[in-house]
Amino acid sequence: MATTNFVDEQTVIEADWLNDVDEVVYTTVPSHTSSIATNTTNISNKAEKGANSDITSLTGLTTPLTTAQGGTGFAGPCGFYANPTSDQTGIATAGSWVNVDYGTEVYDLGTNFASSTFTAPASGYYTLSASLISGTSLNDGTFFSARFNGSTVGGVGATLIRQGAAGVGYISISWVGRLALNETVRVQVLHNLGSNIALDAADVSGNTMHFSGHRLG
């Protein structure tokens, strides 16, 4: 008896596909494998995590390093100069210090001066100076005082004691020292005339009151 062999068509097709796969030959190596040596070299040249001496300079920083990172948190520059916008009147004898207004900014490098108050943008050394003009005549024996008010610089100032004929008073104060980050400083005045006094933004000779400061480093 003759024997008939049946071959399923799907089986033949799958066999042909497998044969085709067996005949595939890769003639090129994928490009990413050829750069392993280069990448290994690049990685070995990178600075290590933690304490190391690999980093010798930093350029192109857009954000200053904080004090915790070993920086100052300050990009600079820092400096300001301000004059009063107008005379300041009605300063009473109340036994307490009165804030002096310096409303006109001549310049403010770093925008650290506002509302007659300087705010240190970083810990460091600063120089401050201010001048005041009493537009009210001071009587014999009265005093006229000015000071910087701040947690570090507070109390630094000067006092004018009038002797002899009545007259206006001029005071200049200055200070150099270290301020902490965000420490604020402003100028204050005190007197004992017995009645209100006024501060003149400028005298008849054109001398003006001022408050200024700059960061030294």
Q: What is the pLDDT of residue 51?
A: 73
Domain with 176 in it: what CATH number? 2.60.120.40
Nearest residue to 133 via CA among 84, 202, 187 = 202
Whether pTM > 0.85 for this model: the answer is: no
Residue whose structure tokens are 């005071």: 171
Q: What is the pLDDT of residue 155?
A: 82
Q: Is residue 73 part of a domain?
A: no
Mean pLDDT by 10 residues, the chain (217 residues): 52 52 54 63 68 70 63 75 97 89 96 96 95 90 91 88 79 95 95 92 93 95
Q: Is residue 204 part of a domain?
A: yes
- Helix extents (H) in 82-173: none
Q: Is residue 95 part of a domain?
A: yes
Q: Which domain holds residue 109?
A: 78-215
Q: Is residue 42 part of a domain?
A: no
Q: What is the pLDDT of residue 93?
A: 83
Residues paired with residue 175 on neighbouring β-strands, in sequence order: 128
Q: Is residue 70 part of a domain?
A: no
Q: Are 205 and 155 in contact (CB under 8 A)?
A: no
- Domain count of the fold of the chain: 1
Helix (H) and strand (E) counts in the chain? 3, 13
Q: How many CA atoms lie within 13 A of 21 on its CB side?
A: 6
Q: Are 91 and 199 in contact (CB under 8 A)?
A: yes
Q: Is residue 193 part of a domain?
A: yes
Indicate left, alpha or beta for 9 from its phi (over 0: left) and psi (-120 to 50: alpha). Answer: alpha
Q: Is residue 49 part of a domain?
A: no
What does 135-146 look like in DSSP terms, one character per residue?
A: EEEEPTT-EEEE
Q: Is residue 127 part of a domain?
A: yes
Neighbours of 209 (CB within 10 A): 26
